[in-house]
Homo-oligomer: A and B are copies of this chain.
Amino acid sequence: MPVFAVIGHRARTDGSWSFNDMPGGAGRMDVLCRAVNTSFFLSHDLRRDVVCYLVLRGEPGPEKTIRFEGDRVRYLSPDERSAGSLIKKALELVAGPEFRESTKGVSVREGGLARLLGDHSFALLDEAGEDVRGAGELPEAYLLSDHLNFDEDEQALVQDLPRYSVSPRSLHADHTITVLLNELDRRIP
């Protein structure tokens, strides 16, 4: 069960943004949409064993966590607007302390990274980490950032996590997920 979590540093926490301006007014929501795409889509199939968390830290706050579950998700197409539409529906639901489902397989709750780190044993995907290709058994859960680096508070939370790298170059979060899943696919007996 691969688990991904992507931090959206400026991603809006309410639904008051337009599908026509996901990179701008929505706070780089396009980055999170593409991470959902690469977490789940196979050719004519979905990765039913994957869970993808989006941590939204933008305005108006407070932060929220959205969870996409591959074994339950419906109405998800590969295009950015499709994931965006499910995110918007999740943000329009009042978030409580526990996950509540907004559409099938998509849920939302209050809180962000600090709480999420208690739910899974995350590793950090980071250029300076151990190359996944040469690594022994790989972890189940992976944490990534959007186009911005982890801030000081996040750094304090993640500094002791194991670190893995997928590439000698610095990649976008969605591309990093694709490469990591390729490594995991190749390890399936």
Within the assembled complex, what's the spacing in Å between the Cα atoms of A179 and B20?
29
Given that A178-B179, A179-B178 are contacting pairs, would A170 and B45 also be in contact in the complex, using a CB cutoff of 8 Å? yes
A170–B47 CA distance with the chains assembled, in angstroms: 11
A170 with B78: in contact, given A19-B20, A20-B19, A182-B179 (CB under 8 Å)? no
Q: A135 at the A/B interface (Cβ < 8 Å)?
A: no
Could you tell me if A38 and B168 are in contact, using CB atoms closer than 8 angstroms?
no
Q: How many copies does the complex hold?
A: 2
Q: Which residues of B contact A30 (CB under 8 A)?
A: 78-80
Q: Is A186 an interface residue (CB 8 A)?
A: yes
Q: How large is the interface on A (under 10, 10 to 19, 20 to 34, 35 or more residues)?
A: 35 or more
* A22–chain B nearest beta-carbon distance, Å: 6
Assess whether B175 is in contact with A20, with CB atoms less than 8 Å apart.
no
Chain B nearest CB from A42 CB (Å) reads 6
A77 CA to B22 CA, complexed, in Å: 12
Is A9 part of the binding interface, using a Cβ–Cβ cutoff of 8 Å? Answer: no
Chain B residues, Cβ within 8 Å of A171: 42-43
The answer to whether A23 and B167 have CB atoms under 8 Å apart is: no
Q: How far is the CA of A31 from the CA of B77 in the complex (A)?
A: 11
